[in-house]
Amino acid sequence: MSTYTDAQIRTAIESVITTAAPLAVVFPWWALGIKQDMWPGSLRSASDSNRVHGYVITRTADEGREVAMRCVERTWSYDVWGLHYHATGNKTANSDLSFNLELDAIAAAFDDVATLPAALKRRSPIRWTIDLNVYGGELLHFAVGQITFDPC
């Protein structure tokens, strides 16, 4: 039996991201829908000049391993999708640098077990895949972070 529920884990993930990325919109569920051209509209941040800047959290796997008769250890895997507006800027100030700094801050927050909410303490390090893509006619930075938790 799990000590923490999916909802508690999602809320805790949301809290970590909101603290590390205070200008971003964060949804603790898949709020983007199926049509990628609609995604930018869902992640416009009023706190960041109404630009695309946000994250969604979705559970992607539920795996169990039998460790004894009638005893199963479970792990839940989550994807954190982030989209961030693109701005060329200059060598020291551009959206590529700012998005990667934000992803580093989120990763550092997940790495610091001492400050994590209790529901997230038993986790694997987050692993980011980062790229650029066009969504809804806008060039956006996007990242998918994969992280796994042992909820009990």
Q: Give the global pTM.
A: 0.91
Q: What is the domain extent for residue 102?
A: 6-149
Range of weakest confidence among 17-21, 51-55, 61-65: 61-65
Encoded tokens for 28: 């603790």
* Residue 36 falls inside a structural domain: yes
* Residue 84 falls inside a structural domain: yes
User: Closest Cα to residue 75, out of 18, 148, 1?
Assistant: 148
- The answer to whether the CB of 119 falls within 8 A of the CB of 4 is yes
* Residue 43 falls inside a structural domain: yes
- Asked if the model's pLDDT at residue 58 lies above 60, the reply is yes
3-state SS, residue 29: coil
* Residue 1 falls inside a structural domain: no
Q: Looking at residue 2, what is its pLDDT?
A: 57
- Asked if the model's pLDDT at residue 45 lies above 80, the reply is yes
Which position has the higher pLDDT, 60 or 67?
A: 60
Q: Looking at residue 143, what is its pLDDT?
A: 98
List for the chain the helix, strand, coil content (%; round to 5).
30, 40, 30
Q: Determine the Cα–Cα distance for residues 77 and 92; give it in Å rounded to an integer.
A: 35
* Residue 79 falls inside a structural domain: yes
* Residue 131 falls inside a structural domain: yes
* Residue 61 falls inside a structural domain: yes
Structurally, how many domains does the chain consist of? 1
Q: Determine the Cα–Cα distance for residues 51 and 41; give it in Å rounded to an integer.
A: 9
* Residue 48 falls inside a structural domain: yes
- Asked if the model's pLDDT at residue 92 lies above 90, the reply is yes
| Mean pLDDT, the chain, integer | 93
Letter string b/e over residues 60-96, b meaning 16 or more CB atoms within 10 A of that residue's CB = eeeeeeeeeeeeeeebbebbbbbbbbbeeeeeeeebe
User: Residue 46 maps to which CATH number?
Assistant: 3.30.70.1700
